[in-house]
Amino acid sequence: MGETSCAKATSDKQYSTSRRDRPVRSSGEQSEMAQEQLQWWQKALLPFSILYAAGLEVYLWWRLPRQFRAPAVVISVGNLSLGGTGKTPTVVAICRHLQQRGFKVGILSRGYGGTLSRSGGIVSDGQRVLATSAQAGDEPLLLARQLPGVPVLVGKDRRRTARWAVERFGCEVLVLDDGFQYWQLHRDVDLVLLDGERPFGNGQTLPAGTLREPVHHLQRADALLIQGQLCPGLPERFPALPCFLWQKAPARVRALRSGSPFACLSCLQGKRVLAVAAIASFDSFPAVLARLGAQVVDVWRLPDHHRYTTDDLAEAQRRAQACQVEVIVVTEKDAVKLEEMSEMSLQVPIWVLDIEAKFSDGFWRWLDARVRAAQHAAACTAAAEEGSGEEEEP
C-alpha cells in the first residue's frame, strides 16, 4: 500500500537536494538545544507559551470529539509552524493527481487576508475565476488559476463551505488548505508538511517560538511530508507515522503580462535579475534563481501577504533600472496580485517563476489507498444508517 514507517520512506526517495551535504541535527538534538537557541526576549515569553499550549490541550480535548463530518472525503494539508512549508504546491499536486484518478475535487481555504474570509464565498466554480486577490486572498486565487475544473471556496467556517462544495458542485473529495489547525472539521487524511532541515524551529510554541501546536500533536497526523531530506530522529520519535520525502522544483518561467511560458528554464541563464517577493520563506527564492544560472543582482523582500500597489510596481521598476538588471523575477504568489495592475507600463519586463511539488510513486499509492478506504467506510456507514432507519419503520 505504501510506506508504513519513517525508516522505510528513505528507500522510496527519488529526488536529490543540495541540502544533503549540510549537517542536519536530529529532532532530539534540536529539542535539547532549544533553550540555548532562545533569545532573552523569547525566554521572557516562555510562561505565555506554556499557558498557550495548556489552553490548546483543553480546547482540543473538548473540540475534537465534536467535529463536523462532511459528506465527502476530506484531505487536510497543513503544517505545525508559522511560515511557508510548501502547502500551496502540495495542494496543487494532490488535486491534479485526484483529478487524473477521476474524482471531482474541491478546495476549502480560509482565504487569509481576503474580504470573503468572514462571510465565505466562491473563488472559482471550476470554470471561471470569480474573485480578485483582495476578495479571495493570495493562495486561493493562485489555486483557482492553476486548477481548472476544481472549485475553490473560502471562508472561516469551512464546515459551511464543505456543504457548499458538495451540494453545489458535487465534490467527492475536499482538500483542506492549511487545515491541521482547523479542528472543527473531521478529516479522513491529515497530512503535515515539515522542513527536513529544521522541522520544529526552536522547539517552542507561540509566542516564544514559531510552533502553532506542541510537537507531540503530530500524533494526530496520518503522514508527514518532509521537504528535502529525512531529519534523523523523526522515525524514532514518531514510529507509527509514514514519512514521505518531497521536493519543490522550478516548473517553468513565464512572462507576467502575456502569461506565455518560455521554452525552458535555461532562459534565466546569465540574466541579471532583481528578485522581488512577498512570501514567508523568502531566502529560498533567490537561491533557486541562482541555481538556474541567473545573476541575482539585488533582492526586494516584502512582508508575506503584502498587497501590491502601483507605487510598489513603480519602486520595483526604479530599483531594476538603478541596478541595470535585464528582468524582474517574482513568484507565482506575487504574480496573481501584480497581474491585476495591467494598466501600468513596464520598462523592465517581469517574469514569473512557477514552482511544483514532486512526490514519489510511493506517496501516491499510499494516498490512493487512503482515499479508497475512506470512501468504503463512508459507504458502509451510510448503508448501516439506512438499514437501521428501515428497521425502525412500523
Polymer length of the chain: 394
347/357 Cα distance (integer angstroms): 33
Place of cell 504568489: 333
Q: Which residue has the higher pLDDT, 16 or 245?
A: 245
> What residues are paired with 301 via a beta bridge?
277
Q: Tell whether the model's pLDDT for residue 290 goes beyond 90.
A: yes
- CA distance to 110, 151, 156, per residue, from 120 (Å): 8, 14, 7
Model pLDDT for residues 63-99, shown as the tens digit of each residue: 999 999 999 999 999 999 988 889 999 999 999 999 9
Q: Tell whether the model's pLDDT for residue 283 goes beyond 80.
A: yes
Calculate mean pLDDT across residues 248-271: 89
Which pLDDT score is estimated for 389? Answer: 60
What contacts 318, CB < 8 A, 6 or more positions away?
none
Which pLDDT score is estimated for 388? Answer: 67
Q: Tell whether the model's pLDDT for residue 392 goes beyond 80.
A: no
273/213 Cα distance (integer angstroms): 39
Place of cell 419503520: 393
Locate 167 and state its grid cell.
451540494
Calculate mean pLDDT across residues 359-386: 92
Calculate mean pLDDT across residues 165-191: 97
What share of the chain has pLDDT > 70, as a percent? 89
Locate 186 and state its grid cell.
473531521
Which pLDDT score is estimated for 205? Answer: 95
Q: Tell whether the model's pLDDT for residue 316 goes beyond 80.
A: yes
Walk me through the domains of the chain, giving residue ranges and CATH numbers: 6-241+361-385 (3.40.50), 249-357 (3.40.50)
361/359 Cα distance (integer angstroms): 7
Q: Tell whether the model's pLDDT for residue 304 goes beyond 60.
A: yes
Which pLDDT score is estimated for 83? Answer: 80
2/367 Cα distance (integer angstroms): 8
Mean pLDDT is lowest, of 192-196, 219-223, 228-232, 352-356, for 228-232
Q: Is residue 299 classed as helix, strand or coil in its secondary structure?
A: strand
pLDDT band at 357 (very low <50, low <70, confident <90, very high): very high
Model pLDDT for residues 38-67, shown as the tens digit of each residue: 888 999 999 999 999 999 999 999 999 999
Share the mean pLDDT of the chain: 89
The beta-carbon contacts of 339-347 under 8 Å, at least 24 apart in sequence, are 339/256, 339/257, 340/132, 340/133, 341/308, 341/310, 341/313, 342/257, 344/310, 344/313, 344/314, 346/257, 346/317, 347/317, 347/320, 347/321
Question: What is the secondary structure of 70-95 as a DSSP string?
Answer: PSSEEEEEEESBSS--SHHHHHHHHH
Calculate mean pLDDT across residues 173-191: 97
Calculate mean pLDDT across residues 289-301: 98
317/14 Cα distance (integer angstroms): 40
Place of cell 509552524: 81
Calculate mean pLDDT across residues 361-382: 94
